Amino acid sequence: MPICRFFTALLMTLAATVALAQDKVVYHFDNSDTQATPGLRTLRNYMDTAPNTTIVAVAVGDGVNFLMDGAKDKKNPNIEYGPLISDLVAKGVKFEVCELTLRAMDIKKDVFVMDAGFTPSGVVRIGQLQGQGYGYIKP
């Protein structure tokens, strides 16, 4: 009986380790003014704490502005978003911009940082990722 308990405990530990290695999270940005700086900070903290996490940051509506080339924090212009985004991309974070937002706001793709990708619909993408088991975070 003790050997069964040992193997049960071992299997549970291995399962927990695998689960941690497969964590998936989607960040939802819809307001650059209030979410960009704290959101990028929490993304950095998340990756520093759980580096094996798969993270996709999806920007819709006014949330796309911080992904534009040269974008800075309006309250603290010393904070440039481009380098912060590049550092997160180097750690494996993916940034996606909603193409429906671009059409509605008449914004061209070439104004965004090179690290940004695009998705046809940000809200649909968030729903798809949640359907694939991604946790949802809105900074």
Q: Identify each DSSP E strand in the chain by its residue range.
A: 24-31, 54-62, 94-98, 116-119, 135-137
Q: How many other C-beta atoms can be found within 10 angstroms of the C-beta atom of residue 61?
A: 17
Q: What is the dihedral of CA 31, 134, 98, 114, to 10 degrees?
A: 90
Is the CB of residue 66 less than 8 Å from the CB of residue 59? yes
Q: How many domains does the chain divide into?
A: 1
Q: What is the CATH number of the domain that holds 36?
A: 3.40.1260.10
Assign 5 a pLDDT band (cuts: 50, 70, 90). low
Task: Give 89-131 pLDDT, tens digit per residue.
Answer: 999 999 999 999 999 999 999 999 999 999 999 999 999 999 9
Domain annotation covers residue 6: no
Residues 32-88 pLDDT 10s: 999 999 999 999 999 999 999 999 999 999 999 999 999 999 999 999 999 999 999
DSSP state of 68: B
pLDDT of residue 22: 62
Q: Give the span between the Cα atoms of 2 and 132, in whole angstroms.
A: 38
Model pLDDT, residue 16: 41
Question: Could you tell me if residue 9 is inside a domain?
Answer: no
